[in-house]
Each structure stands twice: as structure tokens, then as C-alpha cells.
Amino acid sequence: MPVPIPDRNSFLKYTVPLEQAKFLILPIPYEQTTSYGTGTKNGPDAIIKASQYLELFDEELALEPYREGIHTLEPIEFDKGPAELSIEKIYETVKALPIKKKFLISFGGEHSITYPIVKAYKEQFPGISVLHVDAHSDLQEKFQGTIYSHGSVMARIKDIADIVQVGIRSQTKGEYNLIKQRGIHTFYMHAIRSDELWKEHVVESLGDNVYLTIDLDGFDPSVAPAVGTPEPGGLLWYDVIDLIKMITKTRHIIGCDIVELAPEPHAIATDFLAAKLAYKIMGNIIVSKS
């Protein structure tokens, strides 16, 4: 087992060499197409800083996930220019990482970062399913003049992978019709509220290899207020944690991202939630492999 070394710039304030790590953290402070609240470029740093105040022991799982080895990569740096260049840079960065041997957790930044990540994963895991936790469908073909908008990310992903959406409660009529026409598995919040077996139904909709993308506005604003578009009526903490736990029992989560944190000084609970969510995902991955 690798020996964690204190490092104040790393997730949880500990690191191990990349080759010894089970988990990789990739900060992607990209923000170019936000449409309401801004500040998502500050999300990765806020999550890492909040993580340094987490307890290292998970009392539910009775283990310390960090002992499996976590390596925090350098943030991707972006130049000013067309969105296409930034999207390509994310793709090339992830493609160069050992994602078949390590578990990568990417911190955004806006949700548009997920498409190039999934594109890189698709090359390594051809039968990939993408589980999309969000308040919004993000299925608009083009939003605010670009096909690489945060509002179009799932429109790009649906053409290269099967998608399953959870927590949706805000969309256009066109997105609603597209979901019906394409038979996209979408679990709306208004339906989840009256379906005691919704988590089982989500798992049944997924393939064996699952990439998990979590937009923090999928959570209810009462627990995650610091997001760009805080839609009322969302998922609560244990809704998401129990779903992840259930998925790891019968499926393989191969990577994930946590996006759309827009940190605010008066709403640091969201930073902490995002950090603990990442750590909980690590713990459940470890348990699923044991």
C-alpha cells in the first residue's frame, strides 16, 4: 500500500506518486459558456481546499480510502480562444492518462468539460454508459451560439454513448421531444418522488461500464446552493450516495466528474459536499473491488 505524503496543494492534503495511485484528481478550471451564475472556473480549487478538512476515515464503510493512494494532477491551463480548442485540450489531456489502470475524478469547471472526457473514455471502453445527474437535460443542439456549450454537452455525448439522466427538472420543449423520440432513459424529479424503486430502475438502464457525471445543481439548493443555476426540488445527499452504492454492486464505475460548483463565501457547504462526494465515490469503488 502506498505511503501518503503531506502536500497542501493536493486533494485531502496528501499525495502519492502517480504510478502508485489508485485515484487521480484532475482539476479542469474551464469556464467559457456559463449562462446565469458565474465562477465555475474557481470550482476545482474550492473542492480541493474543502477536501483538506474532511475526516480521512469513512465510518459507514469502515476504511480510509486515501490509503489506496490519491494523486492530484496539475490543473489544465486554458488560453483564450474558440471553445473547440479548449475541448480538444481536455480530450488530449485525458487521453494521455492511464484511465484503464487508474480511477480518474475530474473537477470542473462548467459541464461542457464532460464531452471530451467521455470521448477519451469511449476509446478505452467501447460499450460505455454515461450516468448524468443534473437538474437540466443539456440536450440542446446549440446553445448561445456554440455546440460546445454546457447546455449542449449531453447532445454531444448521446451521439457517442448511451446516456441515462437522473434528477431532471428543467428543459426545453425540444429537449423533451428529443428524449421521447430517441428513447433516452430520463428519470425526472417529479417521477422519482413517487417511485420507491427509482434507483433500481436507473441501475437496470445502465450498461456494465458506467461513466458518472454529476452536475451539482442535480442536488437540491438546500444542500448545494453554490451552483450556476440552483433549480428547486432536487436530489438530496443520500439519494445520490445510495444510488452510487447500488451501481457499484452490479456495475463498474470507470470514472467520473463533478462540475458546476460556483463557490460563494456564504455557501461553503457546497464546496464541502463536492469534496465529500468525491471521497465517498472513492470509498465505494474500493469496497466494490474487495
> Quick check: 264 and 40 in contact, CB under 8 A?
no
**Cα–chain-centroid distance for residue 281?**
10
Chunked into runs of 10 residues, the chain (290 residues) has average pLDDT values of: 89 96 97 68 96 97 97 94 91 98 96 97 96 97 78 95 98 97 97 97 98 98 95 98 97 97 95 98 93
Output the pLDDT for position 36. Answer: 53
Compute φ and ψ for 237, nearest 5 degrees.
-50, -55
C-alpha cell at 18: 502517480
Which residue segments constitute the domains of the chain, with CATH numbers given?
A: 5-289 (3.40.800.10)
Bond into 127 cis (ω within 30):
no
Output the pLDDT for position 82. Answer: 86
Map residue 196 onto helix, strand or coil.
coil
Output the pLDDT for position 147. Answer: 82
Task: Report the predicted TM-score, pTM, of the whole model to 2 decimal places.
Answer: 0.95
